[in-house]
Amino acid sequence: MGKILKTLVWLLILGGLIAGGFLTFYRFESQPPEVKISGLSPVLGRDFALQIKIKDTRSGLRWVKVFLQQERQVAILKEEAFPVSFLKGSGVKEKLYRLRVKPVEKGFAEGPVSLVVEACDGSWQHAFRGNLTRKTYQARLDLTPPAVTLLSARVYIARGGSALVLYRVGEPVAQTGVYLNDHFFRGYAVKGHTYAALVGLPVTEKGLTRFTVMAQDQAGNRLEIPVNFYYQRRKYPVYRLRLSEAFLARKMPEFLSRYPEAQKGSLLKTFLWVNEVLRRQNNQEIREITSRLSKEPFRLQGAMKALPHAAKKSDFGEYRKYYYRGRKVSEAWHLGLDLASVAGAEVPAAAPGKVVFAGYLGIYGNTVILDHGLGLYTLYAHLAGLEVPVGREVKAGEIIGHTDTTGLAGGDHLHFSVLVQGVFVQPLEWLDPQWVRYRILGPLSALR
Ligand SMILES: [Zn+2]
Q: What's the gap in Å between 432 CA and the centre of ligand 1?
A: 20
Contact 51, 38 (CB under 8 A): yes
Q: What's the gap in Å between 341 CA and the centre of ligand 1?
A: 14
Whether the per-residue pLDDT at 245 is higher than 90: the answer is yes
Whether the per-residue pLDDT at 86 is higher than 90: the answer is no
Q: How many residues does the chain have?
A: 448
Q: What's the gap in Å between 425 CA and the centre of ligand 1?
A: 13
Whether the per-residue pLDDT at 1 is higher than 70: the answer is no
pTM value is: 0.84
Averaged pLDDT, 350-365: 97
Q: What's the gap in Å between 314 CA and the centre of ligand 1?
A: 7
- pLDDT-derived band at 282, boundaries 50, 70, 90: very high
Query: What backbone phi and psi angles, to 5 degrees, belong to 249?
Result: -65, -30
Q: What's the gap in Å between 338 CA and the centre of ligand 1?
A: 5
Q: What's the gap in Å between 357 CA and the centre of ligand 1?
A: 18
Q: Residue ranges per domain, the chain? A: 31-141, 148-232, 238-292+304-425
Q: What's the gap in Å between 337 CA and the centre of ligand 1?
A: 6
Averaged pLDDT, 155-179: 96
- pLDDT-derived band at 126, boundaries 50, 70, 90: confident
pLDDT digits (tens, 9 = 90+) for 436-447: 999 999 999 988
pLDDT of residue 135: 95
Q: What's the gap in Å between 428 CA and the centre of ligand 1?
A: 14
Whether the per-residue pLDDT at 259 is higher than 70: the answer is yes
Report d(CA 91, CA 71) in Å as an integer. Answer: 36
Averaged pLDDT, 412-418: 97
Report d(CA 332, CA 276) in Å as an integer. Answer: 8
CATH architecture of the domain 31-141 equals: Sandwich (2.60)
CATH architecture of the domain 238-292+304-425 equals: Distorted Sandwich (2.70)
Contact 221, 145 (CB under 8 A): yes
Whether the per-residue pLDDT at 371 is higher than 90: the answer is yes
Class of domain 148-232: mainly beta
Evaluate whether 31-141 and 148-232 have a shared fold. Answer: yes
Whether the per-residue pLDDT at 386 is higher than 90: the answer is yes
Reduced to 3 states (helix: H, G, I; strand: E, B; else coil), residue 19 is helix
Averaged pLDDT, 136-149: 94
Q: What does the mean pLDDT of the chain come to?
A: 94
